[in-house]
């Protein structure tokens, strides 16, 4: 995302830069004081001041040294940048939603400058519309239309190279298909000229018919082979890409995954690769054949009869234009139909799933009235579409046929005049038909190629991400004892939004720490850092005095056990799910872990015991049962550090008690972090850590905190009230 | 023990307070700060940087405005039932805040709509000036508020409103047809 737009000369001249002062950020202000769109207004941040330009001239200057607390506040359809200048809060810029995240970064940047540091904030987010041509960018880094290194063919070539051999095979088949298609009319010409009009007998006729027959068979065979090979190659390419993408997703840091919408990641694996397969099957398999046929078709036509060829070509622009108009129209009406259909089915789903509510409020009649309206609307559109289709489709064919009509008229005159043989005319007509047939096919090509290019770009964008690997020399396997020290740890998921600030604490080996705080205060984030899913931005986390970054990830992860708020079970058996944390565990160990987690008994009650299939489509477990399986999974590794994020939140009181007992046995000697909303769950904790507003607000034993009468105290009061 | 008891009633009071609907009227005074924020003096209290929130932004934009405290866990100070009965000066102040908090240009004229590769590019005249924007046709970018009222969200999540589709010319309606 651009944080430093190139400013017009006129603006630049008005920026008074002192010695060593540099411009860090320059972003457009697109809404003026009267809440109207405006242009040529800018917010410029230099290392010494924040400048606001309105309609091309400088109107405010705020020295960084007079400022405090810049903040970008999102509003509906836009946002406000405010700053505290000499003790007064001021709104200094109003912008539309287009610049929402841009200003969030800039506000962060201004705050860094205010704090006396000179780091420049950078944004890795992509622009949504191209700053050059204004087109939408389909989730890629560069605009597919404007990026110089792009074009359609480069990504396509990168796709082709690893499969040279297969591509070459298909290419040969395409040439064969083209040759056989083009040869047929030539033989037909001879049949007419030499046999029908000439003096050929039955024998000669049979020879020509035989040739035509074998050519037709040849076309069919070549086409089957070609489609088959293309389909196979398409499937292979998309399977390979899917696998590569999946591998990449596993390697990428979790922050990358969180930055993207999960839908997009899913689409890249499923839809984009799917499109590539489809492209190979539908488009590519004919691509060269059609181009080849098309070019030779034109050449043959000109060779046969130049005058006729030129007359035919006159109809080409008309045909191109008509097919384009027709296709656009068809696309429109069917999109419309699709939408209405969607309306009807989503309404239906709404009513059916809300049937109980509809019935209890006695609204059956209103609902059917509404549905009737939607349904009638859909029927109306459907009917008019069908009418359109029935009327215009033959009409289009008729107009396209005009070209042939002209050929027959002018060609017929030539034949009668004796300057052209009937066979040649027949051959020419066949070529003309071929020509118009392929024009409509080629018409779609640019769109399909662009779509392919953006699919490929999205995929390459992921595959091209660099993965930060741990430096093999600097890391080591370590047997953890369990002492943990937070040393000025600061972290935020987005660079401009710190979630934890300046966390300092020392946790002794074997200590149990309860973590409390309001939702969104940063409890789960603290645990994410402990699990090594993210790295701190500032400061460090030390395990047994060693920076967590220098412990090999695999070694660290094998020594921590985690039970999260949302229990995730993979599709598979209970056995698979428990064994996930340690694939080499014996059956006996698994049973012991399940017993410790208080899961053994309910597992015995399921139809297939430990082999019961769970997950999305399997045996449905209650929240508490899932939680207990997750606990069994966590304790199977006998971890040195145990992390419980609301581990017992979804259990009823009785099973919570049972698990608490189990956990008590278990947490002995292990450093344990437990997040809980229900404070009673934390009564065994050695110390409680209260997180409030991104910081540790209080830390100490239950008694100490109760004496302090702070946040923990009021939480206790609220829960006992 | 006495202290604990007081604490509990505090929570109760707070919970009780949340259920109460307090209407603001002529006695409550708004004041614009130098920096462009709005302060409120109500029942002897001074609230800094209050937020003005429309409760029915689509169906009743100038009635039922919630005046809220600043900050993350903002509480409601009170509700203004009807903007039009307030003194002109107050209306002006509140309107200014509403303009800052809500930016939803109303489309008055459609110059062109071009669709290309799954995106539609609009060139329109709005009550906030002329502008161009793009929408993703695959997403539900157009929301129907009623039979003739539309909200269009563009790629950047800016919102544009069409108050009355039937007020547009035949030509403009045909351009819009695909999205209706």
Say yes or no for a CB contact (<8 Å) between B11 and A717: yes
Last residue of a domain, one of B100, B134, B157: B100
| Residues forming a β-bridge with A458 | none
The H or E element that residue A53 is part of is strand A49-54
CA dihedral sign, ordered A449, A453, A455, A460: positive
Pair B41, B63 in one domain: yes
- Residues of A whose CB is below 8 A from B131: 37
CA-to-CA separations, A242 to A163, A166, A269, A462, in angstroms, rounded: 16, 19, 5, 12
Say yes or no: B77 and B143 in one domain.
no
Predicted pLDDT of residue A426: 85
Q: Do B112 and B144 fall into the same domain?
A: yes
Tally of structural domains, chain B: 2
Could you tell me if B130 and B105 are in contact, meaning their C-beta atoms sit under 8 angstroms apart? no
Give the global pTM.
0.65
> A705: helix, coil or strand?
helix
Q: What is the pLDDT of residue B126?
A: 92
Contact A91 B100 (CB under 8 A): yes
Q: Which of A97, A135, A336 sits opposite B156 (nearest CB)?
A: A97
Reference A182, options A297, A264, A17; nearest CA is: A297
Three-state secondary structure string covering A206-236: HHHHHHHHHHHHHHHHHHHHHHHHHHHHHHH
Residue B105's closest chain A neighbor by CA? A36
Half-sphere exposure of B31 (CA within 13 A, CB side): 11
| Last residue of one domain, picked from the residues B63, B80, B100 | B100
Q: Are residues B16 and B36 in the same domain?
A: yes
Interface size A-B, in CB pairs within 8 Å, comes to 102
Q: Sort out which chain B residues have CB atoms less than 8 A from A98's CB and list them.
A: 156, 158
Checking DSSP bridges between strand A512-516 and strand A671-675, what pairing results, if any? parallel
Q: With cut-offs at 50, 70 and 90, classify the pLDDT of residue B19.
A: confident
Chunk chain A into consecutive blocks of 10 residues (it has 721) and report each block's average pLDDT, rounded to whole numbers: 86 84 90 88 90 88 88 87 89 90 87 83 78 75 64 67 85 85 83 75 83 88 88 87 85 72 70 83 78 85 85 82 79 78 82 85 87 88 86 78 84 86 85 82 76 77 72 79 88 72 88 86 87 83 88 87 81 89 90 87 87 77 82 87 80 73 74 85 86 88 88 83 65
Measured CA to CA in angstroms, residue A414 lies from A197, A422, A467 at distances of 16, 9, 71
pLDDT tens track for A391-442: 877 887 787 778 888 888 888 888 888 888 888 888 888 888 888 888 777 7
**Do B170 and B117 share a domain, yes or no?**
yes
Q: Specify whether B126 is located in the same domain as B165.
A: yes
Q: Is the pLDDT of residue B160 over 90?
A: yes
pLDDT of residue A540: 87
The predicted pLDDT at position A260 comes to: 63
* pLDDT of the residue at B125: 93
pLDDT value of position A687: 92
Regarding whether B147 and B78 lie in a shared domain, the answer is no
- Cα separations in angstroms, A192 against A110, A260, B89: 85, 66, 95
Residues B106-121 have a mean pLDDT of 85
**Contact yes or no for A91 and B136 at CB 8 A:** no
Label the pairing between strands B119-126 and B107-116.
antiparallel
Same domain as B160, residue B132: yes
Q: CB-CB: which of A100, A447, A721 is closest to B117? A: A447
Q: How many Å from the N-terminal Cα to the C-terminal Cα in chain A?
A: 50
Edge-first strand listing for the sheet containing B159-162: B142-144, B150-153, B159-162
Residue B1 is predicted with a pLDDT of 41
> Does B68 lie in the same domain as B116?
no
Q: How far apart are CA A272 and CA A257, in angstroms?
A: 18
* CB < 8 Å to B137, chain A: 335
Give chain A positions within 8 Å (CB) of B132.
134
Write out pLDDT tens, residues B62-111. Answer: 889 999 888 766 788 889 988 888 888 889 999 999 999 999 999 999 99
ipTM of predicted assembly, 2 dp: 0.87
Task: Give B-chain residues touching A718 at CB under 8 angstroms.
Answer: 11
Of the three residues B70, B85, B100, the one that is the final residue of a domain is: B100
Are A717 and B8 inside 8 Å of each other by CB?
A: yes
DSSP character for A566? S
Q: Which pLDDT score is estimated for A95?
A: 92
| B156·A96 Cβ contact <8 A | yes
B146/B112 same-domain check: yes
Q: Could you list the residue range(s) of the whole structural domain that residue B38 is in?
A: 2-100
Same-domain pairing of B76 and B139: no
Rounded to a whole number, what is the distance in Å from the CA of A98 to chain B's nearest CA? 5
* DSSP classification of residue A121: P
Q: Is the predicted pLDDT of residue B33 greater than 50, yes or no?
A: yes
Tell whether B13 and B84 lie within a shared domain.
yes
Residue B123 reports pLDDT greater than 90? yes
């Amino acid at each position: 995302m651009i944080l430093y737009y190139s400013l017009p000369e006129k603006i630049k001249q008005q920026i008074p830069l002192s010695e060593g002062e540099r411009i860090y950020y320059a972003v457009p202000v697109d809404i003026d004081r009267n809440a109207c769109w405006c242009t040529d207004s800018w917010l410029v941040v230099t290392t010494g001041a924040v400048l606001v330009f309105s309609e091309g001239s400088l109107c405010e200057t705020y020295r960084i040294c007079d400022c405090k607390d810049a903040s970008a506040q999102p509003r509906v359809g836009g946002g406000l940048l405010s700053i505290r200048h000499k003790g007064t809060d001021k709104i200094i810029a109003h912008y539309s939603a287009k610049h929402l995240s841009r200003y969030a970064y800039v506000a962060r940047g201004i705050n860094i400058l205010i704090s006396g540091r000179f780091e420049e904030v950078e944004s890795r987010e992509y622009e949504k519309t191209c700053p050059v041509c204004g087109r939408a960018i389909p989730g890629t880094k560069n605009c597919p239309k404007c990026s110089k290194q792009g074009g359609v063919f480069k990504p396509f070539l990168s796709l082709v190279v690893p499969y040279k051999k297969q591509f070459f095979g298909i290419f040969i088949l395409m040439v064969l298909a083209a040759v056989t298609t083009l040869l047929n009319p030539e033989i037909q010409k001879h049949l007419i000229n030499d046999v029908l009009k000439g003096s050929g007998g039955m024998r000669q006729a049979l020879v020509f018919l035989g040739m035509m027959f074998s050519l037709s068979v040849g076309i069919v065979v070549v086409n089957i082979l070609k489609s088959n090979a293309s389909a196979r190659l398409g499937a292979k390419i998309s399977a390979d890409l899917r696998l590569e993408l999946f591998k990449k997703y596993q390697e990428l840091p979790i922050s990358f995954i969180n930055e993207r919408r999960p839908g997009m990641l899913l689409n890249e694996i499923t839809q984009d690769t799917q499109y590539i397969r489809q492209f190979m099957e539908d488009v590519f398999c004919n691509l060269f054949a059609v181009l080849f046929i098309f070019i030779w078709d034109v050449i043959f036509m000109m060779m046969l009869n130049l005058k006729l060829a030129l007359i035919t070509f006159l109809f080409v622009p008309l045909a191109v234009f008509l097919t384009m108009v027709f296709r656009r129209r068809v696309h429109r009406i069917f999109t419309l139909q699709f939408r209405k259909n969607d309306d009807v089915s989503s309404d239906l789903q709404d009513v059916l799933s809300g049937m109980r509510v509809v019935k209890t409020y006695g609204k059956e009649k209103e609902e059917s009235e509404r549905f009737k309206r939607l349904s009638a609307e859909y029927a109306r559109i459907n009917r008019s579409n069908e009418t359109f289709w029935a009327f215009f489709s033959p009409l289009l064919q008729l107009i396209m046929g005009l070209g042939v009509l002209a050929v027959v008229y002018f060609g017929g005159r030539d034949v009668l005049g004796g300057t052209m043989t009937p066979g040649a005319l027949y051959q020419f007509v066949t070529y003309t038909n071929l020509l118009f047939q392929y024009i409509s096919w080629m018409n779609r090509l640019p769109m399909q190629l662009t779509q392919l290019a953006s699919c490929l770009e999205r995929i390459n964008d992921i595959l091209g991400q660099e993965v930060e690997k741990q430096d093999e020399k600097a890391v080591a396997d370590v047997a953890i004892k369990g002492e943990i020290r937070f040393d000025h740890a600061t972290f935020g998921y987005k660079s401009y939004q710190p979630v934890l600030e300046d966390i300092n604490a020392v946790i002794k080996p074997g200590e149990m720490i309860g973590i409390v705080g309001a939702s969104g205060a940063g409890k789960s984030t603290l645990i994410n850092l402990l699990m090594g899913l993210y790295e701190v931005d500032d400061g460090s986390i030390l395990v047994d005095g060693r920076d967590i970054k220098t412990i090999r990830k695999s070694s660290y992860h094998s020594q921590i056990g985690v039970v999260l708020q949302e229990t995730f079970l993979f599709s598979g058996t209970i056995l698979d799910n428990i064994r996930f944390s340690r694939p080499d565990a014996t059956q006996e160990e698994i049973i012991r872990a399940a017993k410790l987690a208080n899961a053994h008994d309910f597992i015995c009650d399921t139809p297939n015991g430990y082999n019961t299939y769970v997950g999305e489509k399997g045996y449905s477990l209650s929240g508490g049962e899932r939680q207990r399986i997750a606990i069994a999974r966590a304790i199977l590794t006998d971890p040195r550090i145990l992390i419980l994020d609301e581990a017992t939140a979804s259990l009823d009181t009785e099973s919570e008690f049972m698990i608490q007992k189990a956990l008590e046995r278990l947490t002995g000697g292990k450093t344990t972090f437990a997040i809980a909303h229900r404070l009673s769950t934390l009564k065994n904790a050695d110390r409680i850590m209260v997180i409030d507003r991104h910081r540790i607000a209080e830390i100490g034993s239950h008694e100490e905190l109760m004496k302090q009468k702070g946040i923990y105290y009021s939480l206790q009061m609220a829960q006992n009230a | 023990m006495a202290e604990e008891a007081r604490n509990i009633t505090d929570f109760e009071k707070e919970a009780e307070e949340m259920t109460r609907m307090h209407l603001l009227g002529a006695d409550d005074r708004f004041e614009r700060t130098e920096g462009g924020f709005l302060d409120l003096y109500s029942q002897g209290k001074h609230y800094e940087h209050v937020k003005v929130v429309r409760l029915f932004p689509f169906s009743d934009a100038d009635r039922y405005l919630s005046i809220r405290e600043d900050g993350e866990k903002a509480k409601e100070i009170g509700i203004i039932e009807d903007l039009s009965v307030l003194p002109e000066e107050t209306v002006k102040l509140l309107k200014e805040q509403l303009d800052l908090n809500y930016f939803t240009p109303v489309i008055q004229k459609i110059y062109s709509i071009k669709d290309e590769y799954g995106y539609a590019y609009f060139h329109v005249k709005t009550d906030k000036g002329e502008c161009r924007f793009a929408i993703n046709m695959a997403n539900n970018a157009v929301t129907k508020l009623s039979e003739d009222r539309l909200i269009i969200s563009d790629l950047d999540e800016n919102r544009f409103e069409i108050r009355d589709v039937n007020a547009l010319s035949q030509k403009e309606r045909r351009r819009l047809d695909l999205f209706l």
